[in-house]
């Protein structure tokens, strides 16, 4: 099958416009807030959220902080019984040790800029618990376990790569 020259040119032009728009959406979050061009980046926000292309530029970030990371949740029923569940949705599956998951849980658990995501995530967890148990009223607590990397001079001094830390979230209620 052969395309007519006009159709081929139109398809190539459309693809170029699509790729140009995608590149602009990828670059838009990097416009400094103080810049006069900053308002031009706001129309790209819905596209960035839809496609997951929003970024935080970390070119000059420090060394990695964690040697190991794990997270789980404890659910307390209204009668006081407690069970441990997974935190990966859908299905309340155990944490899969993915870098993307680690980044998500670290950010929603400790960065106030991600509070809206935390609220949505907790709502989804509560909905999954209601679907599983047939009722609400549970309390969720997230338990994180870190192996925080130590400074190189400290590792050389005693051979210990990381220091263990446990962190427990505040409780989240899953209304009735």
Q: What is the pLDDT of residue 73?
A: 95
Alpha-carbon radius of gyration of the chain: 23
Can you list the residues of the chain whose pLDDT is less than 50?
Answer: none
Spatial CA neighbour of 141 closest among 93, 82, 98: 82
pLDDT for the residue numbered 99? 78
DSSP 40-81: GGGGGHHHHHHHT------TT--S--EEEEEEEEEEE-TTS-
pLDDT of 29 reads 77
Per-residue pLDDT at 38: 83
State residue 31 phi and psi, 5-degree precision: -75, 120
Given this model, what pLDDT does residue 101 score?
86
pTM reported for the whole predicted model: 0.61
pLDDT at 70: 94
Tell me how far apart the alpha carbons of residues 67 and 175 are, in angstroms, rounded to a whole number. Answer: 36
pLDDT at 140: 94
CA–CA gap between residue 68 and residue 61 (Å, rounded): 19
- Residue with tokens 């907790």, as numbered in its chain: 122
| pLDDT for position 25 | 85
* pLDDT computed for residue 126 by the predictor: 94
Q: What is the pLDDT of residue 60?
A: 52
């Amino acid at each position: 099958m052969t395309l007519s020259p006009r159709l081929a040119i139109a398809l190539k032009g459309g693809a170029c416009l699509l790729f140009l728009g995608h590149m602009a959406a990828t670059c838009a979050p990097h416009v400094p807030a103080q810049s006069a061009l900053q308002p031009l980046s706001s129309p790209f926000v819905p596209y960035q959220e839809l496609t997951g292309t929003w970024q935080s530029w970390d070119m000059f970030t420090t060394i990695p902080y964690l040697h190991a990371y794990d997270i789980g949740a404890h659910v307390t029923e209204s009668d006081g019984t407690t069970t441990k569940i997974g935190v990966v949705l859908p299905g309340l599956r155990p944490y899969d040790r993915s870098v993307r998951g680690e980044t998500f849980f670290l950010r929603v658990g400790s960065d106030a800029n991600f509070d809206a995501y935390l609220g949505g995530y907790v709502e989804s967890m509560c909905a999954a618990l209601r679907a599983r148990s047939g009722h609400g009223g549970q309390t969720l607590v997230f338990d994180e376990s870190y192996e925080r990397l130590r400074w190189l001079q400290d590792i050389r001094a005693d051979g210990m790569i990381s220091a263990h830390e446990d962190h427990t979230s505040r409780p989240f209620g899953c209304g009735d």
